[in-house]
Structure 1
């Protein structure tokens, strides 16, 4: 902005030369008129100045703020806005599919981050004229809700229907509280038309997806290890686990006597007599289930003799040194072999007499810890199970659903908790005393609901074969835009790790898996006829009918099941990730069953994002989304995870309604928008107060605009662009750059002197401000805020407002100059209000209620996005103002810290393009009220071809250059200018306070004319 002021000063001086530096002659008659006016009361001058007037409040705090936001929601029709925009005609639709939050508690700050992020984008798209498709939903099934509904007492003999009734009531209560909060935050939707995973229609759509996948052979039943939660008594999917890095396990080294030597080592039988295979495990309770010991085929192994006991131990060669240190004794090598030479070896089971276990090769064996030999219990390890499948080993489960040892573990272990007292007892039973080591602290999976450790145990479950979907899922994922891009790696990694997906749960509150079992042989009955029939029943009656209806009503005649009395209905329900993952089938429109956008937290990389992708790829061979936005978690201002024990939990309802301060919904929304949502998002008093202060500054700017538009109606009083001042037209140019997408040709016309001098700030402002539309489009509301603030602080406050205040306050009310300025202010107000509307809908609508130029019943959100036009554009406009700005920078640099209004400026420019541009800003040779003088904010500006020879001795001289580049480089001219600055001899006008009066206390000619016209 300083640049603009200097530029304008320079041009005027260059045109008219030294004459402008001479003080003006005061005539007698004019002097008398001044005396007459000066004798008037000072109040007369004050009342004649058109200062801003508006009833738009400067501040809203406390209960007044809260009441005003609710009033805005009511009178501006927030509740009806979504339905209105769905009914209007639109060329394009924008679909943001809502990932359903869990209906198990009160709204929290994570909800606020997620829902407000989505609403900002939805409101932006609606303002741009698109028809927004956004149906909020809730994930209503699952163990957390069931447990909370039952309380501490547990099922207590309740039937499945009774449990389901309690769970439904609990979920409905949580939904009501969350929905009310989302509405209070200003989230736009039809809140009477949401989706719920416990609705019959939703459950029916889910079963159709299940049926499609089953018919393709992707759903199967098997007995295999799964993550099992003894505390919940159900199988868990990987997405339902959380890893505790501080878990403590009791680790031991156990010996497996090598009774049958490998064939390749038989020749050395005498030397190896009595050798034992040494294994390390952090799960001693699984040793009774051991079926093999695995080695790495291409690794080296050694037989080591203990110096203290003579015991022979077989371990990986590279682990020998660490083992010696652990045992506190020397280990002497008695032979070294490759892993492949161990083939055929058979060990004696350490806890079960007479049981033999083979040495087997496996690729999952590593050398990072342990001995390089891995104890293998197929029933209790995923990799162990793979070995068992390959070598046809037995898979025997030795623990029950409560995590207790069964009779299969032996009478000494039966009924003991495997992961508690069973661990010590199992270790003590080893045929040779195990080598006990300090407890091992490591990352271990926990049930994310009960916060208790899980175990791996086999059970009869239903699975989805994700291995067959993985390649296609990875292929379609490459076509999806992911923000931030770094999240794509996590999505791909999660797909790589998941070879199957356990989708059955042993609970009552969920969608029943539509399968029947034969009473005698346990064979499952499920086909397209049974699933389709059950789906129809669920749609009509809801899934409670699975327990309510007799078996005859559930089994259709075409199922070919045989006698109905031979079957029983299944008791398992579907995993809630399958529940929510099928939401695309229930919610998205059939005409375009792909959402433009999914927006969720990073925990959904292994959850909803993945379950949605896998189900959609399985059924439709494509992703359900075109773009993904993955945001971080909310943490305290210290970066700590929120915890009630730490006392750092931030309740969004308290933020709005007030603990110590009532911030209101818009402050919460500003915090969301301003945050870097792609990392951890911090919240606390400092962040909230900063958001509140930013809104207050914005509110004052909007109030200034409204105050200066009092009595102005743009529909009848707007000035034709051809009659506007150059600076006003230039402001429209900046507004257009602020609101529109990038237009890079503009930069080719920027002069090098403009970039080099103090106008670098202005250049950078212009460079970023046009990105406000792009920022919203790219899901970067934080950048939209930075663009907004740069535009207000730079282009408006520091530049335009400082220049036009004199014209705005002191010109005649209906003058073209003042109306020209008001025309621009109205467009700026409109542009700013619309650009903040997605983030601050309450403030935007409040401003719109006070703004001129529209019907009282009209609301901002029903009137569209920023309306930009280039009708104001005239040839050379930007070059004229930018050139004047360059000259003004030189002017202000010559009087650092001084008031430019106290100086006369002479600008000397040789005849040429720059001189002609400056002439367009000042027709007269010297002037106190030309557009050039206004830009310079000087007392008087003279434009001349060369500086006069008789310059005052106190004149300050400086020079510069300005490169003019017109018509895409066809016209280029590097023009030099020189300026001379002297203190003005004029007096300060008591009305406008400019130094343009002939004598002290005398009104300047302009003010005299205004007052005489008013009289």
Structure 2
């Protein structure tokens, strides 16, 4: 062996580390070049091939050690489905979570499950999310951590209530009856989703989940509310909020969808100036000036209380050339206004916005009503006229102006989105977004205030459930003062690892935009600490239905009852607001994480939760505990159709995960099983939109089939091998075998790193590269002869089998988090463990640092560089039909090659095996008497040791000549003396067998 024998380099070899990148590059080129051709040599030239015919095959077949295994190459249709279910049962999938919770572990890994809505059947979005989490959890469990993962469901909220009432109707149901029906509907949805998650192989204790309608959960949530209220972070106020007329409730920003193609009827309207601003009142020719405003929401005109301007901008009074009307607007908007109105606008006078202070306008539709001109920072010059119509009840910025200048905030819109009595008899009961808009425009036209109407396509907020537009209207609601939490939340986010990194920016932007959070959805909790604590206890015992079931005296604590002097409790009413679902689910950390001060290692959810659960969880945790509830956030994209379209029943492009697993009526959707679904999730670029359809699923199935083929090869060649008694110590192995252990260790490090970074796609890429490049194209093609034709119990064959067993073990453990069914199926056939033992109870890849021996990499990769030259000199030819002479001047490279072949010439050395040639001659210079048909080639190999301290660029020359030996009828290598005679190796094996 090199390390004991070569004194000239023994000292250096003892300290050798990894080779430079140049050597690695040579190796990779050698491997890619030899892809296919070498495989053909190894497999095509072995008598192990079933296509072999003739008497020689019959004569020697029994002496060749062909692969044998009961592991099936292919599983399809019902057999595949039955096998997956058998694996789940036989390998204890249902009990695995509980088992790992009971074992001792130094570290815990907590992935907190964001609760999906219990409002429908499982879909591919669920599959993407739950399988991603399961891949992560299974990896952490395999590497020895105690996983904390409690699945949950969001059981409250309008989505569930609407679905339940859609099936039942609302006729005459009390709130309590509606809650009961919604609960029943949610329980049905939970049962269906839970069954699907289990079928996908998701690891959890499915009898210990959390549900937001549980009393214990509701009590924990109420405690968070109480703590935030006691800190003054929760208050009640009358201010504009997003209101959904279609679902008759307030909405938070996270519950909005913005429709970029919404069409509004935009108008230009005039507000006549009845009192000129004092600073410009002395100007001549400024009689009958009208302020020109632009709005995309004409229905808000009746609620106007002011017209706002930008103090620092320039404004002009202009005269229309067509009718001499005087209009006031921002100077920089004049040109676009002239084009829009189709007339010239002559500038009469120009001044700064601050000079408009003190001006008063006449309201166009309400007689005797006057409104002031006011400065405001939210005025922009991107569109419109630079003069902004201001309706404090129906705009967020408008409300800010009203607060500053003490303007009235009168709501003219009811809960159904219709004008109320404050709007006057002409408008009352008209829907503001439809007939109400028509009527307001008509009124403006009749009074001569309408200058122009035009359609405007713009982004407008919609209710994400009903897909109908929302309005802004004031309402008395409960709010969280997020302004006081934002800085702490942003500081906490800086310490959170966010994948992808760009999502952190989105989170910070959304936090900045959020000055308050409306958390009520139409039930007052009472506002004393005693009351809240008392109600929390009741909720824990009876759940929140007791709010409707119990008499009001029972809801009040004894202290309050004493204050009422035992009389009737008339000062208290039972509120009808309910908590925002985002507060509901955002408080889940308080109910689910085991210790009140603990943080989850990861939250893994879709990108829609950037403005939803990620934020509500962060804000509630910051408010109560002054820290984020998570250490890492993984933000994934949405599942879309194969064409990249959003899935919808109307488009007919919905892909049902149940159909993926069990097959559909359409022949294009066979039964793929759960592992194909899991492979699709793992292989996808989860940080973008994830496409799914027949193409992606067929690709996943084909990839798993190729993997099965490799695993079958490994299992077949391990037949009869017992790693406990027959394994070879790495120091006694062939160098190529030691080298594969070294490659396996590198592979295991890369895979572990990829899983640690939540990157299952990289795991698959590393796996496929390892199998195709390092195993199939390289190692398998080289060792088949030794494996099939050497004596069964020889050191060379056992050395090879030891590596194959390590490779099999490493590969199936590395794929186990992604393909748990396949991994356990292979483990049942693999040697070296007791019957009944399962892979998931036996740990992660067991690579050893001992496998990285000094000098090993240089010896094999140096040989591969020479092999590269050899194969490139005989393109398309069979390497086994040639003798190879390698000439290297004395030095490190020669000594490395000499460690692979001690004798000058050999047909059976490790160097000959690596070259896959008939014979290899190793010499210091090429012989002078080479035959005329010899093919010459040369190259160099860089040896770089100890960070460049020892550096040698070694040259080599090769000569390739057709061999004069005959093909052995048993092993088919060109190493026999004559055509009717076996080679010496095969003669010895056959004689021993007989």
Please report the TM-score for the alignment, with normalisation by the length of structure 2. 0.93
Between the aligned partners of 1:541 and 1:227, the Cα distance in structure 2 is 33
| Range with bigger deviation, 730-739 or 921-930 | 921-930
Report the counterpart of residue 591 of structure 2 in structure 1: 586
Report the counterpart of residue 638 of structure 1 in structure 2: 643
Contact kept in structure 1, 2:364 and 2:449, CA below 8 Å: no
Report the counterpart of residue 722 of structure 1 in structure 2: 731
1:195 and 2:210 aligned = yes
Quote the offset at 1:872 in angstroms.
4.0
Between the aligned partners of 1:776 and 1:123, the Cα distance in structure 2 is 10
Choose the corresponding residue for 1:335, options 349, 360, 369: 349
Change over 3 Å in CA distance of 1:382–1:6 after alignment to 2 = closer
Report the counterpart of residue 3 of structure 2 in structure 1: none
**1:593-632 alignment runs, 5 A limit:** 593-632=598-637
The unaligned stretches of length 5 or more in structure 1 are 9-37, 507-511, 516-525, 741-770
Quote the offset at 1:955 in angstroms.
1.1
Report the counterpart of residue 826 of structure 1 in structure 2: 805
Secondary structure at the residue paired with 1:102? coil
Secondary structure at the residue paired with 1:235? strand
Quote the offset at 1:964 in angstroms.
2.3
Report the counterpart of residue 956 of structure 1 in structure 2: 935
Listed one character per residue, the Cα deviations across residues 663-716 of structure 1 (whole Å, up to 9, x for unaligned) are: 111001101111000011111110110011000000100000000000101001
Quote the offset at 1:558 in angstroms.
2.4
Quote the offset at 1:367 in angstroms.
0.8
Quote the offset at 1:874 in angstroms.
3.8
Name the structure, 1 or 2, with higher relative contact order (CA <8 Å, separation 6+).
1
Secondary structure at the residue paired with 2:570? helix
Report the counterpart of residue 546 of structure 1 in structure 2: 547
Report the counterpart of residue 225 of structure 1 in structure 2: 240
Listed one character per residue, the Cα deviations across residues 744-769 of structure 1 (whole Å, up to 9, x for unaligned) are: xxxxxxxxxxxxxxxxxxxxxxxxxx
Report the counterpart of residue 87 of structure 2 in structure 1: 72
1:567 and 2:551 aligned = no
Quote the offset at 1:491 in angstroms.
0.4
**1:650-799 alignment runs, 5 A limit:** 650-659=655-664, 660=667, 661-740=670-749, 771-799=750-778
Choose the corresponding residue for 1:465, options 473, 476, 481: 481
Listed one character per residue, the Cα deviations across residues 40-79 of structure 1 (whole Å, up to 9, x for unaligned) are: 8641212211111111000000010011011100000001
Secondary structure at the residue paired with 2:389? strand
Between the aligned partners of 1:480 and 1:799, the Cα distance in structure 2 is 43
Quote the offset at 1:635 in angstroms.
1.1
Listed one character per residue, the Cα deviations across residues 646-668 of structure 1 (whole Å, up to 9, x for unaligned) are: 11111111111102311111001
| Range with bigger deviation, 180-189 or 974-983 | 974-983
Quote the offset at 1:3 in angstroms.
6.2
Quote the offset at 1:452 in angstroms.
0.9
Contact kept in structure 2, 1:228 and 1:454, CA below 8 Å: yes
Listed one character per residue, the Cα deviations across residues 399-457 of structure 1 (whole Å, up to 9, x for unaligned) are: 11111111111111111111111111112223324123221111111111111111000
Report the counterpart of residue 752 of structure 1 in structure 2: none
**1:430-469 alignment runs, 5 A limit:** 430=444, 431-469=447-485
Change over 3 Å in CA distance of 1:874–1:323 after alignment to 2 = closer
Secondary structure at the residue paired with 1:158? coil
1:505 and 2:514 aligned = no
Change over 3 Å in CA distance of 1:874–1:296 after alignment to 2 = closer
1:363 and 2:377 aligned = yes
**1:465-504 alignment runs, 5 A limit:** 465-504=481-520
Change over 3 Å in CA distance of 1:152–1:859 after alignment to 2 = closer
Contact kept in structure 2, 1:346 and 1:357, CA below 8 Å: yes
Contact kept in structure 2, 1:5 and 1:889, CA below 8 Å: no
Secondary structure at the residue paired with 2:381? coil
Between the aligned partners of 1:870 and 1:340, the Cα distance in structure 2 is 76
Between the aligned partners of 2:690 and 2:560, the Cα distance in structure 1 is 54
Change over 3 Å in CA distance of 1:396–1:548 after alignment to 2 = same
Contact kept in structure 1, 2:519 and 2:579, CA below 8 Å: yes
Secondary structure at the residue paired with 1:729? helix
Report the counterpart of residue 169 of structure 1 in structure 2: 184
Contact kept in structure 2, 1:527 and 1:559, CA below 8 Å: no
Number of residue pairs matched by the alignment: 940
Report the counterpart of residue 209 of structure 1 in structure 2: 224
Quote the offset at 1:6 in angstroms.
11
**1:387-466 alignment runs, 5 A limit:** 387-430=401-444, 431-466=447-482
Quote the offset at 1:880 in angstroms.
1.1
Report the counterpart of residue 743 of structure 1 in structure 2: none
Between the aligned partners of 2:503 and 2:262, the Cα distance in structure 1 is 27
Report the counterpart of residue 993 of structure 1 in structure 2: 972
Report the counterpart of residue 303 of structure 1 in structure 2: 317
**1:135-284 alignment runs, 5 A limit:** 135-151=150-166, 154-268=169-283, 270-284=284-298
Secondary structure at the residue paired with 1:616? helix
Change over 3 Å in CA distance of 1:414–1:956 after alignment to 2 = same
Between the aligned partners of 1:369 and 1:232, the Cα distance in structure 2 is 32
Change over 3 Å in CA distance of 1:592–1:433 after alignment to 2 = closer
Contact kept in structure 2, 1:6 and 1:891, CA below 8 Å: no
1:971 and 2:986 aligned = no
Change over 3 Å in CA distance of 1:384–1:925 after alignment to 2 = same
Between the aligned partners of 1:534 and 1:425, the Cα distance in structure 2 is 48
Contact kept in structure 2, 1:4 and 1:936, CA below 8 Å: no
Listed one character per residue, the Cα deviations across residues 892-926 of structure 1 (whole Å, up to 9, x for unaligned) are: 11111111100001111222222222121112221
Please report the TM-score for the alignment, with normalisation by the length of structure 1. 0.91
Contact kept in structure 1, 2:969 and 2:980, CA below 8 Å: yes
Quote the offset at 1:961 in angstroms.
1.8
Quote the offset at 1:152 in angstroms.
6.6
Quote the offset at 1:975 in angstroms.
2.1
Choose the corresponding residue for 1:806, options 765, 770, 785: 785
Report the counterpart of residue 1013 of structure 1 in structure 2: 992
Between the aligned partners of 1:39 and 1:547, the Cα distance in structure 2 is 89
Listed one character per residue, the Cα deviations across residues 627-658 of structure 1 (whole Å, up to 9, x for unaligned) are: 10111111111111112121111111111110
Report the counterpart of residue 841 of structure 2 in structure 1: 862
Secondary structure at the residue paired with 1:439? strand
Between the aligned partners of 1:995 and 1:974, the Cα distance in structure 2 is 34
Between the aligned partners of 1:451 and 1:298, the Cα distance in structure 2 is 40
Contact kept in structure 2, 1:467 and 1:498, CA below 8 Å: yes
Contact kept in structure 2, 1:115 and 1:187, CA below 8 Å: yes
Report the counterpart of residue 905 of structure 1 in structure 2: 884
Report the counterpart of residue 980 of structure 1 in structure 2: 959
Contact kept in structure 1, 2:597 and 2:625, CA below 8 Å: no
Quote the offset at 1:945 in angstroms.
1.9
| Range with bigger deviation, 533-542 or 560-569 | 560-569
Listed one character per residue, the Cα deviations across residues 844-884 of structure 1 (whole Å, up to 9, x for unaligned) are: 00000000000111100000000011334443211111111
Contact kept in structure 1, 2:56 and 2:969, CA below 8 Å: no
Between the aligned partners of 1:6 and 1:968, the Cα distance in structure 2 is 23
Change over 3 Å in CA distance of 1:611–1:40 after alignment to 2 = closer
Secondary structure at the residue paired with 2:299? helix
Between the aligned partners of 1:266 and 1:1001, the Cα distance in structure 2 is 121
1:350 and 2:364 aligned = yes
Pairwise CA RMSD: 1.7
Quote the offset at 1:951 in angstroms.
1.1
The unaligned stretches of length 5 or more in structure 2 are 1-23, 32-52
Contact kept in structure 2, 1:655 and 1:663, CA below 8 Å: yes
Contact kept in structure 1, 2:218 and 2:536, CA below 8 Å: yes
| Range with bigger deviation, 911-920 or 772-781 | 911-920
Report the counterpart of residue 393 of structure 2 in structure 1: 379
Secondary structure at the residue paired with 2:462? strand
Secondary structure at the residue paired with 1:252? strand
| Range with bigger deviation, 787-796 or 919-928 | 919-928
Quote the offset at 1:355 in angstroms.
0.7
Change over 3 Å in CA distance of 1:873–1:439 after alignment to 2 = closer
Between the aligned partners of 1:267 and 1:607, the Cα distance in structure 2 is 55
